[in-house]
Structure 1
Amino acid sequence: MNFYESYTHVTWNLPTNLLFKLQKRLFKAAYIRDKRKLIELQKLIFQSNCARLLAIRDVTQFCSNKTIAGIDGKVFLSFSEKFELNEYLKLNYNNWKTQSLKKVSIIKNKETTVYLKIPTISDRVWQTLVKFGIEPIHESLFHPSSYGFRSNITIYHVQKALIFNLSKNSFASQKRIVFLDMSNSFCSFDHNYLVKKIIAPRSIKLGIFRLLEKGFDLEFLDETLTIPTFSSLLSNILLDGIETFQYCIRYGYFILFFLRPEDNEGYLIKNLKMFIITLGLSLNKTKFMLFFAKKGFDFLGWNFKLTDKTTDGLFIFPSYVNYQSFLKRVKKIINNSNYGALTKVFKLYPIIRDWKIYHKYSSLLKYSYSLFFVKKRAFKVFNSESRQDFYSSKRLLAKCFKASQSFDNKILNFNFHINGSYNLGHLVYLDTTLNCYFCIHCGMNLF
């Protein structure tokens, strides 16, 4: 088929399924260390017309930064330009030379200024194509306790793993926790060390090295439930191996190391500092904290508190910082006299909905998290308008604070699943002696 037929007349289900099958075969070949098959499948993905079409489609239609132009000044490609880019990528994907990155400043939350380095559309398409061929290999090699910014894992997997490690059966009251924050350490890193860890042909590695030399930053996005980007994939590859020092849970920049009574935290921190220096990261900006699990702690916007009142011995609440920032945003909209009641409802509903979804596995039955006083203030403001009466204000309040499904953490209904992952969250093998299927990562019996 020609490019016009493949891009317009044929549905996207066919190329998506073909690419997924190739990535699934690549994942299995990488897991059993079949290097010959791995190289063949990887080259097949790079040369595949379906992969190029999906890369162009993802960048030009689904990318979150598609409205920001690079140095080429383009945010949109016509059909003829997409055709030319497809042909150019077909001929030059093995010898790609990245153009300069455009530095753009964005004001975030009306307080801090964030600088983004935006590549051109053609460079982003090449990065997406390389990501299609590299991601399945490293997904099979990543440590099972690495949960952050991967294609088959959400932030709720982190919460579930923390609950298992802080339950009474795991003797959580005897554990100590070393918290490692590396959010400010990625200002510099060793490019050669990262390129050596990437499993790809030499020509692709050379293209990635040129991209890094142009000033491409490694970072994890703030959005916790989005599809991982090329930058987050390279960041996970760089940090891969830090989980081998001690059992831990890693999500992006943040790592929790669980220490038993006989473990030495000084020896662990010394090894971590040596590993950080090996990566070329900034050791001075890395934060280490040690605390007891029995006293409770905050992690990713949640507060984990050990108690004897529940069967599992654990309560999960929204953290104080997370709850106060949420109230600040809500009160600022409610008390703004420039907005009418309808405008306030449209602005408040997504904020409250996202906060409740984020904490849907937390215990929101506590009186301090019931939002009673926020509702009372919102009703008073709505009812004070001349266009609204008691009943219309009640209806607006019901729309604004629409109840979403929440779970008490006594009943842990972690039945979530993501479609389109290479291993679907588990790698299943058959035990012939017991005649059952089990996952080699978590040991769970399936089917």
Structure 2
Amino acid sequence: MDTVEVNGPEDVGVRWDVIDCRTHEQNVARLRRRIFKATREQDWATVRSLQKLMLGSWSNTLVSVRQVTQRNAGRRTAGIDGETALSSEARAEVAVRVHRTRSSWVPLPVRRVYIPKANGKQRPLGIPALMDRCHQARVRNALEPEWEARFGPRSYGFRPGRSCADAIESLFATLKGPLAKRVWILDADLSAAFDKIDHSRLLDALGGFPARGLVEGWLKAGVIETGTFSPTEEGSPQGGVISPLLLNVALHGLEAAGVRYRTASSKAGEAVADSPVLVRYSDDFAICCHSRQQAEQVKARLAGWLAPRGLAFNEDRHTSSTSKTDGRPDPLMGD
């Protein structure tokens, strides 16, 4: 049985340096596994009940605040609130504040900053306020295990226990050997995927998730750039703790739109012999096809799937192309 303190220490001071982090992380991990298992069993009443338990868990609050304020690379970067928590005292205070506002928090706008890209252009990032980042980490622990149980086997980006190297290995396994028949590659990425996600489609996909309203609040919170507020009618800010997961949710089903899978026998879940194989790493993907014609047909079919979700291929980038391989795939994923 999980040990989950729902209420937390409302009247007792928190001593950050003596918190048993391992125990709290184990509590969260067990609850995540139960959400995953219930999703696989399609026991949706149990899924929602366990997600509510996670959202009220003091262990989840502590683990989330620790992740945001101690482990994340951006822990020294502030949002519009100008707040960071770099001392034990500050982290303890934030943990109590986050837990007390777990059912009443109203998201703040993100702070827009720009970082340089390899091609000389700039990538926009939206930096949430500290409290928003902590709440996003809490919500992610409730939402992520549900979707980990639902995501396709060849989706690799921003997923626990999966990496760019795994995506490359998947490509290699598909293309290797003298009898490999999928020798035409459609290598593509999406244009400004984080900034273009359709909110309605994404929220519909979340269904009855207990913190759906809070997710909508983050999507609609707006952006502040050089002191000017702009509303956000589409997209999820790249820089948010929960945004990579939301992008994966928005793209869930892309693989099935381009690939036909076996549904029976010991090979259930594998692509059928004459079907393409799609390997995705976030918004970059490679589709292994039997012919140039098949690659072009798949691209058109995927473009039709992406459009109502607010997404489109990046036609300006050189990787939105079709080429023939000799069985030695280049490490393109994550470029």
- State the TM-score, normalizing by the size of structure 1: 0.59
Alignment deviations for residues 305-325 of structure 1 (CA, whole Å, 9 cap, x no partner): xxxxxxxxxxxxxxxxx9xxx
Q: Is the 8 A contact 2:278 2:288 kept in 1?
A: yes
Instruction: Give the distance between the partners of 2:144 and 2:49, measured in 1 at CA.
Output: 15
| Match of residue 286, structure 2, among 242, 250, 256 | 256
Q: Once the 2 structures are TM-superposed, how far is the Cα of residue 179 of structure 1 from its aligned partner?
A: 1.8
Q: Is the 8 A contact 2:68 2:133 kept in 1?
A: yes
Q: Is the 8 A contact 2:219 2:236 kept in 1?
A: no
1:158 to 1:124, Cα distance in 2 relative to 1, 3 A: same
1:286 to 1:280, Cα distance in 2 relative to 1, 3 A: farther
Structure 2 match to 1:117: 126
Q: Does residue 49 of structure 1 match 2:58? A: yes
Segment of structure 1 superposing worse, 66-75 or 1-10: 1-10
Q: After superposition, where does 1:410-421 map in structure 2 within 5 Å?
A: none
Structure 1: unaligned runs, 5 residues or longer: 222-227, 303-321, 323-447
Structure 2 match to 1:300: 332
Q: Does residue 178 of structure 1 match 2:186? A: yes
Which protein is richer in helix relative to its size?
Answer: 1
Aligned with 2:162: secondary structure? coil
Q: Is the 8 A contact 1:220 1:252 kept in 2?
A: no
Aligned with 2:188: secondary structure? strand
Alignment deviations for residues 136-183 of structure 1 (CA, whole Å, 9 cap, x no partner): 1100100001111210112221122122111226x3355322222115
Structure 2 match to 1:212: 219
Structure 2 match to 1:75: 84
| Match of residue 289, structure 1, among 297, 301, 321 | 321
Instruction: Give the distance between the partners of 2:106 and 2:13, measured in 1 at CA.
Output: 27
Q: Is the 8 A contact 1:95 1:207 kept in 2?
A: no
Amino acid at match of 1:213: K
Amino acid at match of 1:235: L
Q: Once the 2 structures are TM-superposed, how far is the Cα of residue 22 of structure 1 from its aligned partner?
A: 0.8
Q: Once the 2 structures are TM-superposed, how far is the Cα of residue 264 of structure 1 from its aligned partner?
A: 2.9
Alignment deviations for residues 342-382 of structure 1 (CA, whole Å, 9 cap, x no partner): xxxxxxxxxxxxxxxxxxxxxxxxxxxxxxxxxxxxxxxxx
Structure 2: unaligned runs, 5 residues or longer: 1-7, 224-234, 260-276
Instruction: Give the distance between the partners of 1:262 and 1:117, measured in 2 at CA.
Output: 39
Instruction: Report the number of matched residues.
Output: 295
Q: Is the 8 A contact 1:186 1:282 kept in 2?
A: no
CA RMSD of aligned residues (A): 3.0
Q: Once the 2 structures are TM-superposed, how far is the Cα of residue 62 of structure 1 from its aligned partner?
A: 1.3
Q: Is the 8 A contact 1:176 1:261 kept in 2?
A: yes
Instruction: Give the distance between the partners of 2:35 and 2:15, measured in 1 at CA.
Output: 24
Instruction: Give the distance between the partners of 1:205 and 1:286, measured in 2 at CA.
Output: 35
1:127 to 1:242, Cα distance in 2 relative to 1, 3 A: same
Structure 1 match to 2:45: 36
Q: Does residue 239 of structure 1 match 2:251? A: yes
Structure 2 match to 1:159: 168
Aligned with 2:195: secondary structure? coil
Aligned with 1:73: secondary structure? coil
Q: Is the 8 A contact 1:218 1:231 kept in 2?
A: yes
Q: After superposition, where does 1:350-361 map in structure 2 within 5 Å?
A: none
Aligned with 1:168: secondary structure? coil
Aligned with 1:15: secondary structure? helix
Aligned with 2:82: secondary structure? coil
Aligned with 1:187: secondary structure? helix
Instruction: Give the distance between the partners of 2:36 and 2:198, measured in 1 at CA.
Output: 27
Instruction: Give the distance between the partners of 2:314 and 2:279, measured in 1 at CA.
Output: 23
Q: Is the 8 A contact 2:194 2:247 kept in 1?
A: no
Amino acid at match of 1:208: V
Q: Is the 8 A contact 2:65 2:91 kept in 1?
A: yes
Q: Once the 2 structures are TM-superposed, how far is the Cα of residue 96 of structure 1 from its aligned partner?
A: 2.8
1:286 to 1:193, Cα distance in 2 relative to 1, 3 A: farther
Q: Is the 8 A contact 1:220 1:253 kept in 2?
A: no
Structure 2 match to 1:271: 301
Instruction: Give the distance between the partners of 2:305 and 2:200, measured in 1 at CA.
Output: 15
Amino acid at match of 1:163: F
Q: Does residue 149 of structure 1 match 2:181? A: no
1:166 to 1:133, Cα distance in 2 relative to 1, 3 A: same
1:277 to 1:51, Cα distance in 2 relative to 1, 3 A: same
| Match of residue 195, structure 2, among 183, 187, 192 | 187
Segment of structure 1 superposing worse, 55-64 or 97-106: 97-106
Greater relative contact order (Cα 8 A, min sep 6): structure 1 or 2?
Answer: 2
Q: Once the 2 structures are TM-superposed, how far is the Cα of residue 55 of structure 1 from its aligned partner?
A: 1.1
Aligned with 2:160: secondary structure? coil
Instruction: Give the distance between the partners of 2:255 and 2:148, measured in 1 at CA.
Output: 15
Q: Is the 8 A contact 2:168 2:331 kept in 1?
A: no
Aligned with 1:131: secondary structure? helix
Amino acid at match of 2:69: T
Instruction: Give the distance between the partners of 1:135 and 1:23, measured in 2 at CA.
Output: 8
Q: Once the 2 structures are TM-superposed, how far is the Cα of residue 63 of structure 1 from its aligned partner?
A: 1.8
Structure 1 match to 2:18: 9
Alignment deviations for residues 238-259 of structure 1 (CA, whole Å, 9 cap, x no partner): 1111101222111122111122
Structure 1 match to 2:231: none
